[in-house]
Structure 1
Amino acid sequence: MDHQTGHPIQPDTTLLNRMFLTARSQNGWLDRPVDTALLEQIHDLARMGPTSMNCSPLRIVYLVSDEAKERLKPALAAGNVEKIMTCPVVAIFATDFAFADRLPFLFAHTDGKGFFERNPHLVEDTAFRNATLQAAYYMMAARALGLDCGPISGFNGKQLDSIFFPDTQLRVNFLCGLGHGDMAKLFARHPRLSFDEACQVL
């Protein structure tokens, strides 16, 4: 229901299919480059998703060159090497645990930075939760704009952080391949939990 008009919303079935129903986590990639302008367009969409206190702790490092991917290779689990090394763009989704330093700009109407300085026990959960939300927004935006995604968590996080984020407050959350998937390399879709299995209405 449209909250402004009160009329039912007619779903864009093509878009819903691209974002959810026919979209798949990719295991292989077509040899098609991804333009940086498209990555910028995805970011401009995804950054509009909500985070608590507009804290926006997600940071992304894009690995596009062979040299950059070779730096990542030692941190990858063996089963993920081929699909990551052959991916047009590998996004390192990282969490900035110093996110509060940006709050005077992002949340200027109150002292958000001071709030987290007075409550340091809230920093870790706030950063991780909201960066993960932002990464999910990002994948939905990427799919909406025609890219495929291949998120993975098969890597050594400490090793990756030492390679890409030494002496910083950034820590990797997960990796995501971005490009045009090779449908011939997909597995059959696995089942999902039904509403009754996953949800309660109280």
Structure 2
Amino acid sequence: MTSTASLADVLHLPQDVQDLLFREARTANSFSSEPVSDEQLQAIYDLVKWAPTSMNTQPLRALVIRSAEGRQRLLPHMSEGNRAKTATAPVTVVLAADTDFHENLPKTFPHKPEAKDSFAEESRREQFAKLNALLQVGYFIVGVRAAGLAAGPMTGFDNAGIDREFFSRNKWKSLVVINIGKPGENPWFGRLPRLDYEEVVQTL
């Protein structure tokens, strides 16, 4: 089996960048009080928006929660194990899929504006939106790491409750809640194993 160190040389990115984005990146469970600025969040989005989605639909939407009021509305919908760290993170972002993404297709897919008509069926549109927004969630996490910040993505929350609380006036559907900031005291759980290449990949 080829070693990780020699495989790193095959990739175009320098190894320290590979480590920052993947090998040494961890899910943070505590955060320092150092703030996360709006400029940092915009820089993250302006990087990850270039990653691909089907037909350039870009269905991901983000609700940034900073205020005490917003946090008080969010916390009751988080699972018990996720509540404390969400209460103390500098900023929390609810990432959602906009199931009305097709309204933007004339702008995001201008060479085929009639493609909007192919999403008339709501169930198909919602499935498509969630799939592509989840792709963007992955890009977003890597973007947070590229900003030198730690991401704490969570799916332990009441989706329906968050949607009622925050998205009753639009067609957004919550997918992942992410705490963002600099790591705090004892931020990491033990590193869990990853599957090897041979366990995951088949070649025909």
Question: Percent identity between the aligned chains?
Answer: 34
Check whether the contact 1:42–1:141 (CA below 8 A) recurs between aligned residues: yes
In the aligned structure 2, how far is the partner of 1:42 from the partner of 1:64? 17
Quote how far apart the aligned CAs of 1:14 are. Answer: 1.4
Moved more, 28-37 or 167-176: 167-176
Count of residues in Structure 1 that have an aligned counterpart in Structure 2:
194
In the aligned structure 1, how far is the partner of 2:45 from the partner of 2:67? 20
In the aligned structure 1, how far is the partner of 2:193 from the partner of 2:39? 35
Quote how far apart the aligned CAs of 1:10 are. Answer: 4.1
Q: For the structure 1 residues 112 and 148, does the alpha-carbon distance in structure 2 shift closer, same or farther, using more than 3 Å as the test? A: same
Letter in structure 2 aligned against 1:166: S
Corresponding residue for residue 3 of structure 1: none
Corresponding residue for residue 5 of structure 1: none
Q: For the structure 1 residues 55 and 79, does the alpha-carbon distance in structure 2 shift closer, same or farther, using more than 3 Å as the test? A: same
TM-score by length of 1: 0.92
Q: For the structure 1 residues 31 and 52, does the alpha-carbon distance in structure 2 shift closer, same or farther, using more than 3 Å as the test? A: same
Corresponding residue for residue 78 of structure 2: 76
Quote how far apart the aligned CAs of 1:177 are. Answer: 0.6
Corresponding residue for residue 22 of structure 1: 24
Check whether the contact 1:53–1:112 (CA below 8 A) recurs between aligned residues: no
Deviations 1:14-58 (A, max 9, x none): 111111000000110011000101100100001000000100000
Check whether the contact 1:96–1:169 (CA below 8 A) recurs between aligned residues: yes
TM-score by length of 2: 0.91
1:116 aligned to 2:144? no
Equivalent residues in 2 for 1:89-128, closer than 5 Å: 89-110=91-112, 111-117=114-120, 120-128=122-130
Q: For the structure 1 residues 9 and 197, does the alpha-carbon distance in structure 2 shift closer, same or farther, using more than 3 Å as the test? A: closer
Corresponding residue for residue 5 of structure 2: none
Corresponding residue for residue 86 of structure 1: 88
Equivalent residues in 2 for 1:19-168, closer than 5 Å: 19-110=21-112, 111-117=114-120, 120-168=122-170
Letter in structure 2 aligned against 1:112: A
Structure 1 spans left out of the alignment, 5+ residues: 1-7
Structure 2 spans left out of the alignment, 5+ residues: 1-9
